[in-house]
């Protein structure tokens, strides 16, 4: 299952990975964190830009896969760590940028809020946060129908969290609740995926 995710799903998300790079304005030497990093694909995109990148995921199997792939590609400025996104093992203001992609909708409401708050904590005051998740409301098109079907097939708990994420109001509401200011945004995948660059209010 993990192999399928890396070889089939990651290529489908290549445009999102590149969009994150563009919105965040990642440059060589930046210290960057990817939360819920999964197979490490976003982290690898950061490293190709010259960033010093870290990936965190609570699934040790994903961390193992990401480390193996990083070695295979010959990357060096990478650190993969197992850990909870709701209790990030880093000091305040440690990173220039932190990102999370298509993971918040899989969490319950309390955990979503804690994850955003933790990302905010570990990023420098003048740094940026990148959020990638489903647009709310989802447009009425074929892609949205497929997303709903996939989330339903992922299990009862997953679908409950997905529906609650939509009911909560998606990324816009999460930013508002955590007193983050939107700086840039874009829509992808036929309007179904929302990407936001946010920062602390000045």
Residue 1 is predicted with a pLDDT of: 41
Residue 77 is predicted with a pLDDT of: 72
Contact 102, 112 (CB under 8 A): no
Cα 32 to Cα 15, 67, 101, distances in angstroms: 19, 17, 14
* Element spanning 139, H or E: none
Q: How far apart are CA 135 and CA 80, in angstroms?
A: 29
Residue 135 is predicted with a pLDDT of: 97
Tens of pLDDT along the chain (202 residues)? 444 455 545 677 888 999 999 999 999 999 999 999 999 999 999 999 999 999 999 999 999 999 999 999 999 779 999 999 999 999 999 999 999 999 999 999 999 999 999 999 999 999 999 999 999 999 999 999 999 999 999 999 999 999 999 999 999 999 999 999 999 999 999 999 999 999 976 5
Residue 10 is predicted with a pLDDT of: 62
Name beta bridge partners: 193. 134, 188
**Locus of tokens 């997303």:** 147
Residue spans of the domains in the chain: they are 2-199
- Those residues whose C-beta lies under 8 Å from the C-beta of residue 137, and which sit 6 or more positions away, are 166
Helix (H, G, I), strand (E, B) or coil at 126: strand
Cα 134 to Cα 37, 99, 108, 161, 189, distances in angstroms: 17, 15, 15, 12, 10
Residue 13 is predicted with a pLDDT of: 82
Q: How far apart are CA 90 and CA 92, in angstroms?
A: 7
Between strands 78-82 and 95-101, the pairing is unpaired
**What CATH class does 2-199 carry?**
alpha beta
**Locus of tokens 């955590």:** 178
Contact 36, 13 (CB under 8 A): no
Contact 88, 55 (CB under 8 A): no
């Amino acid at each position: 299952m993990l192999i399928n995710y890396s070889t089939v799903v990651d290529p489908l998300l290549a445009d999102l990975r590149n969009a994150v790079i563009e919105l965040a304005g990642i440059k060589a030497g930046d210290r960057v964190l990817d939360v819920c990093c999964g197979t490490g694909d976003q982290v690898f995109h950061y490293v190709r830009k010259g960033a010093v990148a870290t990936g965190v995921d609570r699934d040790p199997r994903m961390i193992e896969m990401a480390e193996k792939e990083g070695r295979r590609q010959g990357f060096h400025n990478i650190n993969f760590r197992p850990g909870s996104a709701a209790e990030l093992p880093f000091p305040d203001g440690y990173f220039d940028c932190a990102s999370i992609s298509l993971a918040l909708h899989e969490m319950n409401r309390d955990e979503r809020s804690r994850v955003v708050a933790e990302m905010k904590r570990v990023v420098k005051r003048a740094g940026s946060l990148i959020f990638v998740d489903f647009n709310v409301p989802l447009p009425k098109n074929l892609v949205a129908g497929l997303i709903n079907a996939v989330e339903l097939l992922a299990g009862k708990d997953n679908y409950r969290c997905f529906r609650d994420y939509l009911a909560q109001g998606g990324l816009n509401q999460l930013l508002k609740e955590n007193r983050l200011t939107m700086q840039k945004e874009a829509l992808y995948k036929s309007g179904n995926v929302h990407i936001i660059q946010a920062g602390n209010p000045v």
